[in-house]
Amino acid sequence: MVKFFKYMFATFAGGIVAAFVLFIFFIAMLSGLAAMGEKETKIKENTILLLDLNGPIVDRVTDDPFADAFASLTGEPTPEGLNRLLSNIEKAKRDDNISGIVLESGMVQAGYATIEEIRNALIDFKTSGKFIYSFSPIYTQKAYYLASVADKIYLNPSGMLELKGMYAERMFFKKALEKVGVEIQVFKHGKFKSAVEPFLLEEMSEPARLQTEVYINSMWNHVKVGIAEARGLTPEKVSALADEMPMFRSDEMLIESGLIDGLKYKDEVLNELKEVVGIDETDDLEAIKNNKYAKVFVSEGKGFIRQKIAVIYAEGDIDGTSTDGIKSDKLSKTIRKARRDSSIKAIVFRVNSPGGSALGSEIIWREVKLAQETKPVIVSMGNYAASGGYYISCAADKIVANPTTLTGSIGIFGMIPNAEELTNKLGVSFDGVKTNKFADMPSITRPFRKDEKELLQAYIVKGYDTFIGRCADGRNTTKEAIDEIGQGRVWSGVNALDIDLVDEIGGINKAIELAKDAADLDEYRVVELPEVEDPIQQLMKDLTGEARMFVGKSLMGDEYKYIQTLENLKNGYQIQARIPYNLEIK
**Residue 116: how many other CB atoms lie within 10 Å:** 26
Q: Measured between alpha carbons, how far is 543 from 17 in angstroms, rounded to an integer?
A: 9
Which residue blocks in 148-205 are alpha helix, DSSP H? 174-180
Give the helix, strand, coil percentages of the chain, each rounded to 5: 45, 20, 35
CA distances to 25, 358, 442, 461 from 3, in Å: 32, 31, 28, 36
* Distance from C-alpha of 399 to C-alpha of 505, rounded to nearest angstrom: 9
Active-site entry in 257, 357, 387, 393: 387
**CB proximity list for 537: less than 8 A, separation 6 or greater:** none
Measuring CA to CA, which residue among 87, 146, 140 is closest to residue 120? 146
Residues 329-337: contacts with CB under 8 Å, at least 24 apart: 329/363, 330/530, 331/364, 331/367, 331/530, 332/363, 332/364, 332/366, 332/367, 334/529, 334/530, 335/364, 335/367, 335/368, 335/370, 335/371, 336/367, 336/370, 336/371, 337/529
Query: In the beta sheet, which residues pair with residue 504?
Result: 400
What count of other Cβ atoms lies within 10 Å of the Cβ of residue 531?
Answer: 10
Residues 488, 156: Cα–Cα separation, whole Å: 44
Q: What is the DSSP string of 170-184?
A: ----HHHHHHHT-EE
Cβ 134 vs Cβ 150: under 8 Å = yes
Cα–Cα distance, 425 to 181 (Å, whole number): 8
Consecutive H or E run containing 497: helix 493-498
Q: Would strands 168-169 and 584-585 be described as parallel, antiparallel, or unpaired? A: antiparallel
- How far apart are the C-alpha atoms of 134 and 129, rounded to whole Å? 16
Distance (Å, whole) CA 458 – CA 475: 26
Report the distance separating Cα 64 and Cα 532, nearest Å. 9
* Active-site hit among 93, 142, 193, 224: 193
d(CA 139, CA 150): 13
User: Other C-beta atoms within 10 Å of 169: how many?
Assistant: 11
With H, G, I as helix, E, B as strand and everything else as coil, classify residue 439.
Answer: coil
* Beta strand extents in 111-151 (DSSP E only): 131-139
> 486 to each of 238, 256, 387, 583, how far by Cα in Å?
33, 46, 10, 19
Residue 62, C-beta contacts closer than 8 angstroms, at least 6 positions apart: 81, 532, 533
The verdict on whether 387 is a catalytic residue reads yes
45 exposed, middle or buried (CB, 10 Å; 0-12, 13-18, 19+)? exposed
Q: Known catalytic residue: 453?
A: no
CA distance 65 to 288: 19
Residues with a known catalytic role: 193, 387
